[in-house]
C-alpha cells in the first residue's frame, strides 16, 4: 500500500510501495467485480495482497465537502456530524470483521478507513452506501539536509513590529512534537506552547515525536526563532512509531491517519483557535508529465482539505522535493491546499544535494529539488533554517519543502493576528499579493516568495478579496463571475495586482476579463497557456496580463471589481477558486511649479524593456538643518501639468534612500518618466541608479541629477553624446527631458565617426515631459552602425532640455547612460579619472574604450597622456592626434592598444588640446561575461569644471553607495586624480569614519571604503566626502559601486556640495 513521506534532507522523496506481496499468486480483481474501487487499489490487489488498507467514501445523504465549500452551512454542521458517524458505524456493522476492520471514523467528512480483504473490497465496492473505495496511500517527510531565512521573508521585522502570531494556533501533522523541550513549552503535554493534539497513527493521545522532524517543523512555525514565536502548536502525530520506545518513526504515513488528523483539527478548531494545518509531507508523482490539480485522483484528501478550508482553516502543504518542474506532490496538488516550494536564503558557490546541484547559489534562487508548476501557491526559505530538534538539540541545516512549508504556516498566523476578518483564501491572497516575485529558472514560472512584513503592513483598504464559494464556469457556453470590493481609499488607482486562481485543466479554453468600478475593462487572459498548467496568477506581480493593467491608472479605486470567466470550448469543467484585488493608490496629482529651481532625474523607471528595469534614488541634504522636499513624477507621455507628487524630509547631513522609487513613492507598478525634486533652496544633491536583476547579480547605470535651471535651449547650439553602436548585441536609446515647464521641439541628428549625417528626426515634448526613442538606429531604418554620435538641437523658442543617450547590451541588460555635452570653446584639459586593463574579482577583466569628438568648427590637435595609478609594462609616450571638425576618435581598449600596458594596469587619461577646442570626451569601462558585456560610463571633465577642488575651495561628495562583502551585496571603492601638477593631502570621510590620503602630482589613487570603515564593514546608504587638507594641487574625485555577484559597477563623479 502507498504511504506518504516527509520531505526531508536526502531529497529522495520517492513514492514508496509498502505493500507486502503475497507468497502465492492470486487472480486480479476486475473493475467490473469492484466498480467503485480506484485503479491503484485494484493494482495493489493484483499484486497478490491478501489484505490492504483502504479509505472509503460513504454516501450518507450529507452534502460533499466541495459542495459545502461552495455553499457553506455552518449552522447545519452539528446535525451532519451525527448523520456521518451513524452512517459509517452502520456500514461497518454490516460487514464481517474477517473482511473489514475499521481504523478511523471521521465526523467532519464522510470517510472512514480500515483494513479490507480482497472479498471485503469487492463487498464494499458494490454497496449502494459507498461512493468509492481507494487504496490508503502513504506520504513521506519532505526535509532536506541562520537566521537568514527569517531575514529573507522579514518575519524578524514583523515580530519587531509587534506581530508575533499571538492568539493563533497551527496544527502540525507530522512525526509528532517533542513538547518536553523548553523551546516548545517544556514539561508535560499539553503545555503553554503545545496546547493539544493526538497520535492518529498509533491511536493514542500522546503526540511525542518519534523522529524529530515534526519538532523542527514546529520550531520554524512557533519556536523562539520561528516565524510566529507567540503562536501555539497542536501536535498531531500521523507517523507510526517503530516500537514502544518511540525512538524512531516508520518512513511513511497512511492517508487515513493524515485525514484523521485533519478531522481532529476541524473538530477542535474553535476550542484551540486553529487557523492553519501544516503538512510537510507528501508523495511525488510517478513522473514529470504535466499535471495540474489532483482532486479527482486523491478524493480522500481532497474531501478532507475541502472540509478544513470550509471550516476556515488554511491547509499548508509541501510542494515536494522530487525535482519536478511540471507537477506537485500529493496532497499539495489539491486545489484547496496551499502548496509551498523552496528557495535559498543564503549565498554559496555551490550546494550539492543527493539528486541535484545548484551553483552559484544566491538568496531567492529556487532550489533544484523543489517541485514546481503554475498551481504552486507560494515560495518560502527551504535552505536553510536553524531550528530545534528532538531532545532540545539545535538543528542548523534543516531544509527542503519541509522547511519552507512551516515558514508559510507561520506567515499565516502573523497575517491572521492582524487580519482576523480574512478567510483562509483571503489570507493566501494577501501573502501572494505582497510576496516577492521569484522566477524559477527551470521553467520560467513566477511565484510569490513570502514577505511577511509587507503582508502584515498591507493597509486594510487596499485589499479586496472574493469571499464567496468557488464559482462553476459553464462548460463551453456563457460565463461566470466573482467580485471583490475595495473601500476606504482616497485618490485614484496608481497600480494594482490581481490574483486569479481557476481550477480548469486547459487554460487555452478560457477568456478572463477584469472590470473596474467605473466600467473600465481589460482582458487578463486570452486563451493561452498549456494543458495541466492551471491559471494561478498575480497579474501585475508574477504574470503579465493580455492587456495592460495601466489602463486602470487614474481610474476609480473604490467600488466593486468584477472578474468574468468565459469557457469558449466544450469538454472541460472548471471553477473560479480565488480572486482578489490589491490597489496601490496614487499620490496627489498637481502641476510642477513654474520655474522650479531644483534637480531633475531625466529618466527613472520600473518597466520591462529587453530586461525589467528598476530605479533607486538617493537624495543628499548637506546642510545643517532638515529639509523638506517635493518629488514630482511625470510619466512618459504626460506633462508637468499632471505630475504625481510625493513629499519627504531629509535630516541634516543625511542621505535618503528611495529604492524602487516608481513603486515605493508613486505607486506605479510599471512606468517610466522623469522626477523633478524641489525644496526651499537648491542646496542638495540627487542621483539615481537604473538596473536589472538576475541570478547573475544586478546590472545598472548611473543617472545623475541635473539642475532644472540649466539645460540646452534655443540658440545654444547642439549637445553631443558619443561612442554608440547598433548591432546584434547592442542598441542605443535616445531621449530628452524638458526642464523649464514649457513645450519644446528638438532635432536629433545621428552622425558617424567622420561627422557625416546618417539620419535626423524632430520631436516635440510638453512641459516637463520626457521623450524616449528606443533603438534610434532601428527607428530611423538604418542597419548595423558603429561609432556614431547623437546631436541634440532645440529648434523652438521655448523649452529647455536635458538630452541623453543610453547604450544597452541586449544580452546582459546592462545600460550606459551618457548625458549629452555642450562644451564651450576652451584650452583646458579634459580628464578621465580612471581607465583599466586589469583582472578583477569574480572572473572579470576590465578594459576601457575612449571616445573624443571635436564638435567645433576648426581642426584640433590633441595630446593624450596618462595619469598613472598602477602601470604594468613601459607605457608609450603621449599620443599626438589630429582631429578634424565633427570627427570622433574611437580608441578601443585604450590602455593596451594605445599605450601598450599589460595586466594589471589602471590610470587616468588627460586629453590636452594644443589650442582652443570644443571636445566631448567619454569612456566605457567594461567586462565581457555572461554572453555579453557590462560596464560603466566615465565622463571626460574639464579641469575648469565645478567638480574640481583645491585647498580651501570646498568639498565634493559621492552618494549612491553601499558596502558589504556578502555575495549578493555591493562594495564601494573611491578614488581621485591629481590634475593640478602638485602634491595634495585629501581628507576622505565615509559615513562615521575618516582618513587622509596623500596623492602625488599627476597621479591617480583608488581604495575601498573598508580602508576607512575597517575590514568586514557592512554599511548601507553611505556617502563619501572629499576635501583637501594640504598641497597646491587639485583633484577630481569619484566613487564606484560594484555588485559583488555580477561584478558590474557604476561610476559616480563626486559633485560639489552646494
Cis peptide before 574 (omega within 30 of 0): no
Is residue 664 scored above 90 in pLDDT?
no
Q: Are residues 204 and 274 in the same domain?
A: yes
C-alpha–C-alpha distance, residues 470 and 482, integer Å: 9
Question: Can you point out the beta strands (E) in 118-255?
Answer: 130-135, 138-142, 169-174, 194-199, 232-237, 253-254
Q: Which residues contact 550 (CB under 8 A, 6 or more apart)?
A: 495, 669, 670, 671
DSSP per residue over 798-822, as a string?
S-EEEEEEEEEETTT--EEEEEPB-
- Rounded to an integer, what is the distance from CA 604 to the centroid of its chain? 20
Tell me what pLDDT residue 843 has.
82
Question: pLDDT tier at 7 (50, 70, 90 boundaries)?
Answer: low
Domain membership of residue 458 (yes or no) is: no
In sequence order, what are the beta bridge partners of 818? 805
Q: Of 657, 677, 707, which closes a domain?
A: 707
Tell me whether residue 456 is in a domain. no
103 & 216 share domain: no
Q: Are residues 703 and 716 in the same domain?
A: no
| Any domain includes 143 | no
Does 74 lie in the same domain as 192?
no
CATH of the domain at 432: 3.40.50.200
More confident residue, 72 or 249: 249
Within a domain: 449: no
Are 227 and 220 a contacting pair, CB within 8 Å? yes
Give 36-69 pLDDT, tens digit per residue: 998 888 888 887 778 899 999 999 999 988 888 7
pLDDT category at 814 given cuts 50, 70, 90 is confident
* 329, three cell numbers: 506532490
Rg value, the chain, Cα: 33
> Does one domain contain both 351 and 218?
yes
Does residue 99 carry a pLDDT above 70?
A: yes
What pLDDT is recorded for position 147?
60
For residue 870, pLDDT beyond 50:
yes
Asked which of 138, 170, 205 is the last residue of a domain, the reply is 138
Length of the chain in terms of residues written: 1058
Other CB atoms within 10 Å distance of the CB of residue 952: 7
Does residue 204 sit in the same domain as residue 337? yes
Residue 826 predicted with pLDDT over 80: yes
Contact assessment for residue 867 and residue 892, using Cβ atoms and an 8 Å cutoff: no
Mean pLDDT of 276-296: 91
Write the CB contacts of 214 (distance below 8 Å, at least 6 apart in sequence): 172, 174, 175, 176, 177, 235, 237
**Residue 379 and residue 336 in one domain:** yes
- pLDDT for the residue 277: 99
Strands 378-383 and 357-358: unpaired
Domain limits for position 751 = 712-819
CB atoms within 10 A of CB 487: 11
Query: What's residue 734's pLDDT?
Result: 98
Stretch 144-155: mean pLDDT, rounded?
A: 74
Each residue's pLDDT tens digit, 758-767: 999 999 999 9
Mean pLDDT rounded to a whole number for the chain: 90
Q: Which whole-number Å values give the CA distances from 296 to 292, 628, 837, in the listed order?
A: 11, 61, 64
- Do 737 and 807 share a domain, yes or no? yes
Distance CA 666, CA 617 (A): 13
Domain-located, residue 950 = no
Helix (H, G, I), strand (E, B) or coil at 214: helix
**Rounded-to-integer distance, Cα 804 and Cα 720, Å:** 8
Residues with Cβ within 8 Å of residue 692, at least 6 apart in sequence: 611, 612, 613, 614, 698, 699, 700, 812, 813, 814
Q: Give, as one character, the DSSP assignment of residue 423.
A: -
Residue 6 is predicted with a pLDDT of 63
Report percent pLDDT > 90 for the chain: 68
Same domain, 661 and 782: no
| Predicted pLDDT of residue 4 | 57
pLDDT-based confidence at residue 1020 (cuts at 50, 70, 90): confident
pLDDT value at position 927?
A: 93
pLDDT at 142: 63
Task: For residue 664, give the H/E element and its range.
Answer: helix 661-664
**692 or 848, higher pLDDT:** 848
Residues 720-749: tens digit of each pLDDT? 999 999 999 999 999 999 999 999 999 999
Query: How far is residue 673 from each of residues 550, 601, 639, 640, measured CA to CA in Å?
Result: 14, 9, 10, 11
Is the pLDDT at 13 greater than 60? The verdict is no
Instruction: Assign 866 a pLDDT band (cuts: 50, 70, 90).
Output: very high
Of residues 279 and 73, the one with the higher pLDDT is: 279
Q: Does residue 922 have a pLDDT over 60? A: yes
Instruction: Let me know whether 746 and 835 are in one domain.
Output: no
**Rounded Cα distance, 198 and 268, in Å:** 11
* Count: domains in the chain: 7
Coil, helix or strand at residue 811 = coil
Domain final position from 526, 553, 585? 585
List, for residues 606-626, the tens digit of each pLDDT value.
Answer: 887 777 889 999 999 999 999
Angle in degrees, CA 409, 198, 167, rounded to 5: 40
The pLDDT tens digits of the residues spanning 592-610 come to: 998 778 999 999 998 877 7
- Beta 314-318 vs 338-344: how paired, if at all? parallel
Pick from 413, 425, 545, 548: nearest CA to 482: 425
pLDDT tens sequence across 434-484: 898 888 888 888 899 999 999 999 888 889 998 778 899 999 888 999 999
With beta carbons less than 8 A apart as the criterion, state whether 634 and 768 touch. yes
**pLDDT at residue number 3:** 45
Task: Read off the CATH number of the domain in which 851 is found.
Answer: 2.60.290.11
Q: Give the tens place of pLDDT for each residue, 152-209.
A: 899 999 999 999 999 999 999 999 999 999 999 999 999 999 999 999 999 999 999 9
| pLDDT band of 495, cuts 50, 70, 90 | confident
Percent share of the chain, pLDDT over 70: 97
pLDDT tens per residue across span 196-240: 999 999 999 999 999 999 999 999 999 999 999 999 999 999 999
User: When comparing pLDDT for 550 and 260, which is higher?
Assistant: 260
Contact 343, 382 (CB under 8 A): yes
Both 937 and 921 in one domain: the answer is yes
The reply to whether 320 and 409 lie within a common domain is yes
Q: Classify the C-alpha dihedral 753-756-761-762 as positive or negative.
A: positive
Instruction: Please tell me the predicted confidence (pLDDT) of residue 74.
Output: 85
Higher pLDDT, residue 755 or 291: 755
- Beta-ladder partners of 124: none
- 514-523, 584-593, 961-970, range with the lowest pLDDT: 961-970
CATH number of the domain at 539, please: 2.60.120.260
Predicted TM-score (pTM) above 0.85? no
How does pLDDT run across 386-401, given as a tens digit for each residue? 899 999 999 888 999 9
Is residue 235 situated within a structural domain?
Answer: yes
Sign of CA pseudo-dihedral 706, 708, 709, 711: positive
- The arithmetic mean of pLDDT across residues 844-866, rounded, is 96
Residue indicated by cell numbers 486602470? 552
Q: What is the CATH number of the domain that holds 615?
A: 2.60.290
- Per-residue pLDDT tens for 881-902? 999 999 999 999 999 999 999 9
Amino acid at each position: 500500500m502507498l504511504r506518504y513521506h516527509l520531505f526531508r534532507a536526502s531529497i529522495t522523496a520517492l513514492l514508496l510501495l509498502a505493500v507486502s506481496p503475497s507468497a502465492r499468486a492470486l487472480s486480479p480483481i476486475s473493475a467490473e467485480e469492484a466498480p467503485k474501487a480506484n485503479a491503484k487499489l485494484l493494482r495493489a490487489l493484483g499484486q497478490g495482497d491478501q489484505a490492504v488498507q483502504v479509505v472509503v467514501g460513504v454516501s450518507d445523504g450529507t452534502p460533499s465537502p466541495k459542495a459545502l465549500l461552495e455553499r457553506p452551512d455552518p449552522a447545519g454542521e452539528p446535525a451532519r456530524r451525527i448523520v456521518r458517524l451513524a452512517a459509517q458505524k452502520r456500514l461497518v456493522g454490516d460487514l464481517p470483521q474477517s473482511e473489514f476492520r475499521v481504523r478511523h471514523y471521521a465526523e467532519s467528512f464522510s470517510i472512514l478507513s480500515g483494513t479490507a480483504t480482497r472479498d471485503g473490497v469487492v463487498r464494499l465496492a458494490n454497496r449502494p452506501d459507498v461512493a468509492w473505495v481507494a487504496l490508503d496511500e502513504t506520504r513521506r517527510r519532505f526535509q532536506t539536509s541562520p537566521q537568514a531565512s527569517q531575514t529573507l521573508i522579514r518575519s524578524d521585522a514583523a515580530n519587531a513590529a509587534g506581530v508575533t502570531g499571538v492568539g493563533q494556533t497551527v496544527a502540525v501533522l507530522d512525526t509528532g512534537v517533542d513538547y518536553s523541550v523548553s523551546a516548545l513549552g517544556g514539561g508535560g503535554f499539553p503545555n503553554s506552547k503545545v496546547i493539544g493534539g493526538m497520535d492518529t497513527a498509533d491511536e493514542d493521545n500522546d503526540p511525542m515525536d518519534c523522529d524529530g522532524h515534526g519538532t523542527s517543523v514546529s520550531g520554524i512555525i512557533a519556536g523562539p526563532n520561528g516565524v510566529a514565536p507567540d503562536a501555539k502548536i497542536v501536535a498531531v502525530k500521523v507517523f507510526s512509531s517503530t516500537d514502544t520506545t518511540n525512538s524512531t518513526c516508520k518512513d511513511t504515513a497512511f492517508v487515513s491517519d493524515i485525514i484523521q488528523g485533519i478531522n481532529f483539527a476541524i473538530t477542535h478548531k474553535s476550542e484551540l483557535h486553529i487557523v492553519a494545518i501544516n503538512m510537510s509531507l507528501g508523495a511525488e508523482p510517478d513522473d514529470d508529465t504535466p499535471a495540474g490539480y489532483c482532486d479527482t485522483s486523491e478524493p480522500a484528501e481532497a474531501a478532507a482539505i475541502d472540509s478544513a478550508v470550509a471550516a476556515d482553516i488554511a491547509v499548508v502543504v509541501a510542494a515536494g522535493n522530487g525535482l519536478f518542474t511540471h507537477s506537485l506532490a500529493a496532497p499539495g496538488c489539491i486545489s484547496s491546499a496551499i502548496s509551498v516550494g523552496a528557495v535559498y536564503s543564503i549565498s554559496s558557490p555551490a550546494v550539492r544535494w543527493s539528486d541535484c546541484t545548484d551553483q552559484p547559489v544566491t538568496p531567492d534562487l529556487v532550489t533544484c529539488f523543489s517541485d514546481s508548476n503554475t498551481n504552486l501557491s507560494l515560495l518560502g526559505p527551504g535552505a536553510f533554517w536553524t531550528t530545534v530538534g528532538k531532545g532540545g538539540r539545535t538543528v542548523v541545516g534543516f531544509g527542503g519543502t519541509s522547511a519552507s512549508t512551516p515558514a508559510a504556516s507561520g506567515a499565516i498566523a502573523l497575517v491572521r493576528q492582524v487580519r482576523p476578518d480574512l478567510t483562509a483564501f483571503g489570507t493566501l491572497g494577501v501573502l501572494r499579493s505582497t510576496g516577492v516575485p521569484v522566477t524559477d529558472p527551470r521553467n520560467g514560472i513566477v511565484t510569490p516568495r513570502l514577505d511577511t512584513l509587507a503582508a502584515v503592513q498591507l493597509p486594510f483598504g487596499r485589499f479586496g478579496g472574493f469571499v464567496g464559494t468557488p464559482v462553476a464556469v459553464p462548460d463551453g457556453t456563457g460565463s461566470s463571475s466573482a467580485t471583490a470590493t475595495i473601500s476606504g481609499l482616497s485618490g485614484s488607482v496608481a497600480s494594482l495586482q490581481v490574483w486569479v486562481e481557476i481550477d480548469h485543466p486547459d487554460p487555452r479554453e478560457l477568456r478572463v476579463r477584469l472590470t473596474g468600478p467605473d466600467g473600465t475593462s481589460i482582458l487578463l487572459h486570452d486563451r493561452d497557456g498549456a494543458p495541466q498548467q492551471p491559471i494561478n496568477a498575480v497579474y501585475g506581480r508574477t504574470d503579465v496580463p493580455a492587456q495592460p493593467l495601466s489602463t486602470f491608472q487614474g481610474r476609480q479605486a473604490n467600488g466593486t471589481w468584477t472578474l468574468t470567466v468565459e469557457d469558449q470550448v466544450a469538454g472541460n469543467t472548471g471553477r473560479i477558486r480565488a480572486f482578489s484585488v490589491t490597489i496601490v493608490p496614487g499620490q496627489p496629482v498637481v502641476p510642477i511649479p513654474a520655474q522650479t529651481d531644483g534637480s531633475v532625474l531625466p529618466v527613472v523607471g520600473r518597466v520591462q524593456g529587453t530586461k525589467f528595469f528598476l530605479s533607486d534614488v538617493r537624495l543628499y541634504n548637506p546642510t545643517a538643518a532638515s529639509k523638506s522636499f517635493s518629488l514630482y513624477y511625470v510619466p512618459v507621455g504626460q506633462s508637468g501639468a499632471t505630475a504625481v507628487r510625493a513629499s519627504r524630509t531629509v535630516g541634516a547631513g543625511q542621505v535618503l534612500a528611495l529604492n524602487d522609487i516608481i513603486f515605493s513613492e508613486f505607486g506605479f507598478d510599471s512606468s517610466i518618466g522623469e522626477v523633478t525634486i524641489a525644496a526651499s533652496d537648491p542646496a542638495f544633491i540627487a542621483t539615481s541608479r537604473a538596473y536589472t536583476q538576475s541570478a547573475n547579480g544586478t546590472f545598472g547605470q548611473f543617472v545623475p541629477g541635473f539642475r532644472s535651471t540649466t539645460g540646452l535651449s534655443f540658440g545654444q547650439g547642439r549637445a553631443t553624446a558619443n561612442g554608440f553602436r547598433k548591432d546584434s548585441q547592442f542598441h542605443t536609446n535616445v531621449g530628452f527631458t524638458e526642464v523649464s515647464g514649457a513645450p519644446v521641439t528638438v532635432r536629433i541628428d545621428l552622425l558617424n565617426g567622420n561627422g557625416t549625417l546618417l539620419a535626423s528626426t524632430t520631436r516635440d515634448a510638453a512641459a516637463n515631459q520626457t521623450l524616449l526613442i528606443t533603438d534610434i538606429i532601428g527607428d530611423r531604418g538604418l542597419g548595423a552602425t558603429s561609432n556614431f554620435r547623437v546631436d541634440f538641437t532645440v529648434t523652438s523658442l521655448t523649452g529647455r532640455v536635458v538630452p541623453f543617450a543610453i547604450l544597452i547590451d541586449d544580452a546582459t541588460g546592462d545600460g550606459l547612460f551618457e548625458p549629452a555635452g555642450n562644451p564651450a570653446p576652451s584650452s583646458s584639459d579634459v580628464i578621465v579619472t580612471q581607465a583599466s586593463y586589469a583582472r578583477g574579482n569574480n572572473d572579470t577583466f576590465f578594459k576601457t574604450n575612449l571616445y573624443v569628438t571635436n564638435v567645433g568648427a576648426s581642426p584640433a590637435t590633441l595630446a593624450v597622456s596618462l595619469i598613472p595609478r598602477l602601470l604594468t609594462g613601459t607605457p608609450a609616450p603621449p599620443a599626438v592626434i589630429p582631429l578634424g571638425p565633427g570627427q570622433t576618435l574611437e580608441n578601443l581598449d585604450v590602455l593596451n592598444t594605445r599605450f601598450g600596458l599589460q595586466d594589471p594596469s589602471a590610470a587616468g587619461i588627460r586629453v590636452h588640446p594644443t589650442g582652443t577646442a570644443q571636445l566631448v570626451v567619454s569612456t566605457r569601462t567594461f567586462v565581457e561575461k555572461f554572453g555579453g558585456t557590462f560596464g560603466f560610463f566615465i565622463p571626460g571633465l574639464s579641469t575648469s569644471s565645478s567638480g574640481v577642488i583645491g585647498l580651501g575651495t570646498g568639498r565634493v561628495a559621492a552618494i549612491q553607495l553601499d558596502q558589504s562583502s556578502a555575495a549578493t551585496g555591493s562594495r564601494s571603492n573611491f578614488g581621485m586624480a591629481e590634475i593640478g601638477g602638485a602634491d595634495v593631502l585629501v581628507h576622505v570621510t565615509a559615513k562615521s569614519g575618516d582618513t587622509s590620503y596623500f596623492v602625488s602630482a599627476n597621479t591617480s589613487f583608488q581604495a575601498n571604503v573598508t580602508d576607512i570603515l575597517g575590514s568586514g564593514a557592512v554599511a548601507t546608504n553611505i556617502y563619501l566626502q572629499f576635501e583637501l587638507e594640504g598641497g597646491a594641487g587639485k583633484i577630481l574625485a569619484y566613487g564606484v559601486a560594484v555588485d559583488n555577484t555580477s561584478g558590474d559597477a557604476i561610476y559616480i563623479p563626486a559633485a560639489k556640495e552646494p
